[in-house]
Structure formats: structure tokens, C-alpha cells
Structure 1
Amino acid sequence: MTNSAVAPGAQTRWKDASRTVLNSNLLPIIAALIIVSVALSVMTPTFLTASNLTNIVTQSAVVGIAAIGATFVIITSGIDLSVGANIALSGMIGAIVAQATGNGFFGIAAVIVVAAAVGAFNGASVSWLRLAPFIVTLATMGMARGLTLQISQGQSVYSLPESLNWLGASAVFDVKTSALTTVLLFVVAHFVLSRTTFGHRIYAVGGNAEAARLAGINVRRVVFSAYVIAGIAAGIAALILLGRLDSATPNAATGTELQVIAAVVIGGTSLFGGKGSMIGTFVGVLLIGVINNGLTLLNVSSFWVQFVQGALIFLAVLLDSVSTRRRSRQSRS
């Protein structure tokens, strides 16, 4: 009996996945990840240890989950600069609610509701008020940071209930729950983007919003939903950060938006919209995590980490811009 007779569905999925990799910009990103990993394994013997590789995935969980939501937004040709502030605000409110009620599950609910509300505010402002995503989310970032400081009075909240910390502090067979959750959410998000009508509408809106509208797609609803998804993803990331630190700090997740955007753009998602994938974002998250981990192992100053991330964003945007202009010239010729 041939393999095709045994599992034709599995073969089809494998061919689809292979075609996705070969027909996209993923190969250079994967090659970069391999080259950087090999170089670091030569420069520091501790890089390829099982504990360090697990640590990379665990440390990348917050950025990775936030990047899932950012991918939806950026494919619609939007941007979310408020993700770090959203993580801090929702985490702080959730911690205060959990301490006040003595119930961690109330705190979890508060985190998700607040984070989703921030995403809904961004989405409504962009889709119905027709404000520029950059300006809206920049303003939201400032408001959310200010609210976090005001609510907490600049003080951290400690000794959180165990149930609130579970997602970020527990483990299954010595594998952190946060790492498992990150991988699971990437799988679900990949399915939504590549296999559902909503995912196809996300690409359509990002590729040409007017054409999507003429095709009967409710563009405003799709854009609004993308920002709500980004908000919920930020809330889940906040829960993981709370569990990891066993505290809520007013300055939590500062600079996370840079890492999130870097991971998404490096992963091949175009800032011009209409192009991107969760597989690419996942590889981008791993590349950022590997670089951060490698610089730490090599005792490189933490100041260089932001420089490298900014340089990677610049390079990714430059390559995307060149590729877009090339395709535009080819389509006209």
C-alpha cells in the first residue's frame, strides 16, 4: 500500500506547507536563523544545551503571543504601537482585582476584558473614525501607560494568587506552560489565517480595501476584529508575564512593541498590508529570541539589543519595499 493511499490528507497538508515555504520569503529568514544558531553554538558551548533552547522559547512567549495579534493587524496594513502598554495596563488591573477579591480567576477575566477593550478602542478608532493607525495606537500607548502609573501610583503589586500566575509559572513534563501555549496559539492562528473565510478577508482588506468592499466584505468589521484579536493576544501575554514575575509592575513590557513589530516584519509580513503568515512570524520570533539569548550569553551590553532589533526592522522594511517596487514594475510591463 502506498503512502498516498494511507494518508492522502497528510500528504496534501505537507505539500501545502512546503509550497508555502518555497513560494514565500521564508527561506532567507529560516537560513538566517540557522546561520545565527550555528554561529552562536560555535561561540558559546551553552547555546545548544536543552535547557537553553527551552529557555529561548519560554522567554519568547510574551513577544510571540503579542506578535500573533500584531500579524493580523499588520496584514490589514495597520500597526499597533500600544501592545506593550496594553500588557502593562491589563496586567496591573488584573493583579489589583485578584488581590482585592482574593480570586485569581477574577484577575484573569479582568486582564482579558481590559486588553480586549484597548484593542476594541484602537479598532473602532481606525475602522469607524478613520484615524491613522500609527497615531491612534501611539496615543493609546501614552494613555495606557499613564493609566497604569495612576492606578498603581507607580508601585508594583506583589504576592499574586497562584491561579493568576498559573499560565506563566507552571510546567507540563518540565516544559513551561507558556511555551506550550505559544506554540498552540500559533497553530490556531495559522489555521485561521490560511483556512478560514475570516483569514482570507484579512488578506483581501490588506491587499486592497476598496476592492474588498466592492466584493461585499465588511472592511470596517474585519479591521475592528483584527485589533480586538491583537488586544486579546496582549492580554494572554500579560498573564504569562504576571506568572513569570509573580508581580505586576507599572513599567512592564516597555519596548515590547519594538520586538513584536520586529518579529512580524522580519517574518515576512509586509507593512504595506496584504502579505504575511504565522509561520513567518513564528520564525521571526525565534530569530529575535535567539539573537537576544546569544547576546546575553556573550555578555554583550543590553544597549546593543535594541540597536540590533532596530537594524533588523530597517533591513526587513527595506527588502520588502524593494520587493514591492519590483513587483509593481513587473505588473506594469
Structure 2
Amino acid sequence: MSTVTKPDTRRLDFGDLMHRYGTFVILIVLLAVASMLSDVFLTQRNLMNVLRQVAATGLMAVGMLFVILTRGIDLSVGSVSALGSVVSAVLVQQMAPGLAIGATLVVGAACGLVSGLLVAFLRLPAFVTTLAVMTIARGAAFIASSGQPIRMGEAGQTITAFGTGFVAGVPYPVLLMLAVFVVAGLVLTYTRFGRLVKAIGSNRDAVRLSGISVSRYEVAVYVISGILAAAAGIISSSRTGIGSANIGVGAELDAIAAVVIGGASLMGGRGSALNTFVGVFILGIIANLMNLANVPGYHQQVFMGVIIIGAMLLQYGSSFFRR
């Protein structure tokens, strides 16, 4: 009489738990290691500094999350942030700060709109399309600034006050980043828009056949990404009072890394704002820890890459335990 072999539920459960909560395991391990290596790491001042350092990356990561959930990618965010930095520095000297910020966000939205229209309606590959927009935005930033840093001066005092100010010990840029993550989490969890964004990434054809205009939602996520990238550029400028076309180089890779470390799938349909925030925080902890350990700059890039690979193996290598 033949017997039925039962699945190894222990291996299955371990793999599922690591896949779902691996991001938090990485965070806990890093916090433990950092606290042992540095006495000042867990101080409020240092933790706030970590969050302030990653505030711009956090905004770009939220936009990237929306795009990746639809099975897309946006390589232009770093360049759009540079364009936002330059545009805000130029406009704040010509109009009220609020209008300058609004106009800068419109520029970011326009960049996202171009990417979205080409990807959603013409079905061009997102990788190549956003790579082209990345080049255009960076070039436009250098043209607008004539290749030179632009000082905001007295006209930009409101913006620089935001970048350097605090509320109860929490920097304004950190509060903005946290607010954006909270809104993104609520949108993805409780709104029709958020549910459809995830559904498009899971099965685009099924959503399309149900009578929903998939292309409009795809355009929308690229516009969101563009707006948040421009906002990230404003934040970067607000900390120094200088608009520069050189900021945001490689920032798109940090944003993608944060989203993926947070457990989102590059195949779309899976990801959350909370996990992405943890991914952003993890990147900040790694960079801060290496600074505290006086690791040279070039060495930091190597260590950062190795640690990210390790995090990915912990996240996705756990699938071995589910076989």
C-alpha cells in the first residue's frame, strides 16, 4: 500500500516567514550590530541624522514603489531630482517660494507624464524610455544652471529654513518623508487606485479585460514618481541653499534597492509602503555605520553593494526553503 509523503511544513513556514518578514530581520540585525560597534548610533541625534540623510531617497523610493508595483521601472528619478533642484533655485529668485515649489513639482510631473505616455500608450520598454528621460532631465538641469551651482540667497530663506529646521527634535524633511509614506500606505491599502495598481502588476490583461483603463493608471504612477523626484530635489537644495545639476547621481539605484530590500517584487503586484520605508532606513543605517567606522568613501560603495546582495539573498534566497 502506497503512502503519501507530507510536505515539510517547517521548511515551508520558515521560507514564507523569511520572505514576508526578512526586511525586518535585516533591520533588527543591523540595529544590533550598529549599537555594538558605536556608542552614539542609537542616540536621538544620530538616528534623526540618518533619517534626514535618506529623506530625499525616501521620497524617490515611494514613487519608485508605485511604478514597480505596475511591473515598471523609473530610471529617471535621480536626474529629475537634479532638475527639480535647479528649477527651484532659479524660480525662487523670481517668484514667491510657494509658487516656485509648485512650478518645480509641475516640471517633475511633466517628466513623469512623458515617461508614462510612452510606456503606457506606445508600449515602449520602461527601462529604455526612462533611461532616455533620465538623460534629457540631466541635460536640461545643466542647461538651466549653465553647469554651475545656483545659490538661492535671501530669496530662498523659506526653503532653506525648511531643510534645516526641526519640530520637537525631528527635522522638517523627515516629517515630510514620513507623511508621504503614511499617505502612500493608506492609498495602497484602502483606495481603489492602490488596489488597481497592485492588480495591474499582478495581471495587467485581467484588469484590462475587466473594462478598466490600465494605461491611465500606468501614466498616473509615473507622474507620481516624477512629482516625488522633483520634491526630493527641492529637499536636497533646501539643506544647502544651492541648486545643483550634479545631485541625484545614482539615486535611482538607491531608490530601487530600497524598494527591493523592502520585499517588493520587480515583477510587480507585491510591495508595501511600510516595508519600503524600512528598506530606506536600512540603506541609511549602512551608510551611517560606515561613516561612524571611518570607512573610506570608495570602500563604502563596495561594502554597500555587498550588503545589498546579502540582503537580497536573505529575502529571495529563502525561497529555497519553500521548495
TM-score (normalised: structure 2): 0.89
Q: Higher relative contact order at CA 8 Å, sep ≥6: structure 1 or structure 2?
A: 2
Q: Distance in 2 between matches of 1:108 and 1:188?
A: 20
- Residue 183 (structure 2) pairs with residue 185 (structure 1): no
- % of aligned pairs identical? 40
Residues 275 and 312 of structure 1: is their aligned pair in 2 closer, same or farther, counting only changes over 3 Å? farther
3-state DSSP of counterpart to 2:245: coil
Superposed displacement of residue 71, structure 1: 0.3
Return the match for 1:240 from 235, 243, 250: 235
Q: Distance in 1 between matches of 2:195 and 2:237?
A: 34
Partner in structure 1 of residue 66 of structure 2: 72
Q: Distance in 2 between matches of 1:133 and 1:320?
A: 25
Where do 5+ consecutive residues of structure 2 fail to align? 1-15
Superposed displacement of residue 91, structure 1: 1.6
3-state DSSP of counterpart to 2:93: helix
Partner in structure 1 of residue 77 of structure 2: 83
3-state DSSP of counterpart to 2:212: coil
Q: Distance in 2 between matches of 1:316 and 1:297?
A: 21
- Residue 285 (structure 2) pairs with residue 290 (structure 1): yes
- State the aligned residue count: 306
Partner in structure 2 of residue 153 of structure 1: 146
Q: Which residue identity does 1:84 align to in structure 2?
A: G
The aligned runs of 1:48-67 (5 Å cut-off) are: 48-67=42-61
The more displaced of 250-259 and 304-313 is 304-313
Superposed displacement of residue 304, structure 1: 3.1
Q: Distance in 2 between matches of 1:201 and 1:255?
A: 30
Partner in structure 1 of residue 97 of structure 2: 104
Does the 8 A contact of 2:198 with 2:269 survive in 1? yes
Does the 8 A contact of 1:190 with 1:279 survive in 2? yes
Return the match for 2:203 from 205, 208, 216: 208
Q: Distance in 2 between matches of 1:190 and 1:72?
A: 11
- Residue 230 (structure 2) pairs with residue 251 (structure 1): no
Q: Which residue identity does 1:109 align to in structure 2?
A: G
Partner in structure 2 of residue 197 of structure 1: 192
TM-score (normalised: structure 1): 0.86
- Residue 127 (structure 2) pairs with residue 128 (structure 1): no
Q: Deviations over 1:123-169 (max 9, x none)?
A: 11110111101001111111111111111111001125122334322
Q: Distance in 1 between matches of 2:126 and 2:280?
A: 23
- RMSD of equivalent CA atoms: 2.1
Superposed displacement of residue 310, structure 1: 3.4
Residues 205 and 326 of structure 1: is their aligned pair in 2 closer, same or farther, counting only changes over 3 Å? farther
Q: Deviations over 1:155-191 (max 9, x none)?
A: 0011251223343222212211111111111111000
Q: Deviations over 1:85-112 (max 9, x none)?
A: 00001220121111133x2223212211
Residues 319 and 218 of structure 1: is their aligned pair in 2 closer, same or farther, counting only changes over 3 Å? farther
Does the 8 A contact of 1:105 with 1:164 survive in 2? no
Return the match for 1:300 from 295, 304, 307: 295
